[in-house]
Structure 1
Amino acid sequence: MTGVDPPSDGGRAPGHGRYGEQVFRPEERGEDERIDLGALAYDETTMARLRLLGAGPGWTCLDVGAGTGTVARRLLAEAGVESVLAVDRDVRFLAAHPVPGLTALEADVTADAFSPGAFRLVHVRFVLMHLPAADRMVTKLAGLVAPGGVLVVSDAVDLTTELAPVTPYTRAMQAMWQGLGDSIGTDVSRVPRHPELLRAAGLEPVAAEIHVPPLEPGSPISRFWADTWGRAREAMVATGLVDDAGIDEAVRYLNSPACTALSAGMLTAWGWKREEAP
């Protein structure tokens, strides 16, 4: 990657690793199941928004960071869109579930050469927060939206701030965000700026919403975080904010009726590209 945003945390330089290499490697057993747990927690909200924005017959769609392809397949099966180009740096999970109308493209969207065309819908979820220079990435993605189309971006919003009650969960989450920042440059502190970035990229009108799935014992989101901590354990412990015993305690807390914590929210922002003047 080129062009790194200035550190936003008082001087700590962002990590130089990459998602899928240092952590969350697709070749690790069960990584597709972890991704699908996140999909179970967030897909209904995503699909509801995309349908409200009008996604349907005749629409061509670009799904960036498509993961296992749950949103891409639902756009085809439920919304009836014309086609979906599903892009990821590793498409093994997409290739495992082919459906008519879905094309899997293995590519790095940050590369200068990435220019797959123009689409009525460009959707990107849980990607920008892991990349440097989010403003330039939003501008690039806006350039892939056809006139009259819409760019939809979703990322995590951290609710374990200094005002949140101190629990095993908050300690684990704070260690996770810092550990991912140290290792691969993840920065969710920038996510509330997404609507502003969409407007700066020339899109309007722009709007946004937040969904916070409930943390209940055995729920998909609770299982997702437990699995995510397991895969990010080394980076979390390296922060000094939590140790192995603390992570194990946080997992038990998630599965107990004593859990009163708030999961990370998913902020979704969207902006429209104006129709070209006749």
Structure 2
Amino acid sequence: MSTARGEGRYGEAAFRPEQAGEGERIDFGALAYDDITMARLRALGVGPGWRCLDVGAGTGTVSRRLLEEAGVESVLAVDRDVRFLGARSRPGLDLLEADITAPDFSPGRFRLVHARFVLMHLPEHERLIRRLAELVVPGGVLVLSDAVDLTSDRTPDSPYTAAMRAMWQGLRATIGTDVSWVPSYPSLLRGAGLLPVAAEIHVPPLLPGSPLSRFWADTWERSRAAMVATGLVDDGAVDTAVRYLASDECAALSAGMLTAWGRQPGDTPR
């Protein structure tokens, strides 16, 4: 089994924003994870007066909830393609189309820097974490969320497990997605100079017709070619896995979302 990391990019080799239904797929993920993200951000004190950077903002659901529910001062929503953000803008929300891996990425400094399901798709994650930490003002927080794979060798075989294993391997071979290092987040944040650091994992339930189940089904459809290329599944197996997700027979754990956070030492300027 090859473990080489592919050189394609998210949004180009897979999950292209111009593909029909891509915004809806992202929104299904948001419906599954936004509440836990917002609960963590509020617990960290995010609120009025905060300037926030939302990296890989997708369709902007977290950015808008920061403004509407947490009452932050402003949010800069960054993505390599902001087409899903432009039609959903509102006062206090600024958009920036940019590549965070570029050496000249320098959007300013913020009290909150947040990135969810972004770094797992990118190389040089240690450098990027250090760079994002540099964008946090003293007293501010860096909050990172990414997937953790729960399909170990001891996980019972099922259509779901087969599809997830093929998906992770296929995405690594095509666009470089790598979740193996995600449990290292707390150590990496500490290495970037943040203190204190902590982390938690949230695993939402897989229920027939739920936003999360629909998110995975749509994700498999968009990564089908990469999955089949691994040799772990064929088209029929992917179809079976999609049906399994939508059935009462499904008995599986979704990938978890690990969220880690760290604070930039010092007092926030008043």
**TM-score band w.r.t. shorter chain:** over 0.9
Residue 264 of structure 2 is matched in structure 1 by 273
Pairing 1:105–2:96 present: yes
Deviation for aligned residue 1:13:
2.1
- Aligned with 1:254 (options 245, 260, 263): 245
- Aligned with 1:240 (options 231, 234, 245): 231
> Matches of residues 30-179 of structure 1 in structure 2 within 5 Å?
30-179=21-170
Deviation for aligned residue 1:12:
2.8
SS of the equivalent of 2:181 reads: helix
Distance between the aligned counterparts of 2:259 and 2:47, measured in 1? 19
Deviation for aligned residue 1:196:
0.7
SS of the equivalent of 1:80 reads: coil
Deviation for aligned residue 1:161:
1.1
Pairing 1:15–2:6 present: yes
Distance between the aligned counterparts of 1:96 and 1:103, measured in 2? 12
- Aligned with 2:209 (options 196, 218, 221): 218
Distance between the aligned counterparts of 1:260 and 1:230, measured in 2? 21
Q: TM-score, normalised by structure 1?
A: 0.95
Distance between the aligned counterparts of 2:8 and 2:110, measured in 1? 30
* Paired amino acid for 2:241: A
Alpha-carbon contact 2:206-2:213 (below 8 Å) kept: yes
Residue 176 of structure 2 is matched in structure 1 by 185
SS of the equivalent of 2:45 reads: coil
Deviation for aligned residue 1:167:
0.3
SS of the equivalent of 1:189 reads: coil
Alpha-carbon contact 2:3-2:172 (below 8 Å) kept: no
After TM superposition, where is structure 1 displaced by more than 4 Å over at least 4 residues in a row? none
Unaligned runs of 5+ in 2: none
Deviation for aligned residue 1:256:
1.1
Alpha-carbon contact 2:79-2:96 (below 8 Å) kept: yes
| Cα displacement string for residues 145-174 of structure 1 (whole angstroms, at most 9, x for unaligned residues) | 001000000000000111111000000000
Q: CA RMSD in A?
A: 1.3
SS of the equivalent of 2:58 reads: coil
Distance between the aligned counterparts of 2:121 and 2:152, measured in 1? 19
Distance between the aligned counterparts of 2:83 and 2:74, measured in 1? 20
Percent sequence identity is: 72
Distance between the aligned counterparts of 1:226 and 1:13, measured in 2? 25
| Cα displacement string for residues 64-104 of structure 1 (whole angstroms, at most 9, x for unaligned residues) | 00000000000000000000000000000000111000001
SS of the equivalent of 2:111 reads: strand
| Cα displacement string for residues 208-241 of structure 1 (whole angstroms, at most 9, x for unaligned residues) | 0000010000000000000000000000000000
1:277/1:237 CA distance change after superposition, 3 Å: closer
| Cα displacement string for residues 177-202 of structure 1 (whole angstroms, at most 9, x for unaligned residues) | 00000001000111000111000000
* Paired amino acid for 1:110: T
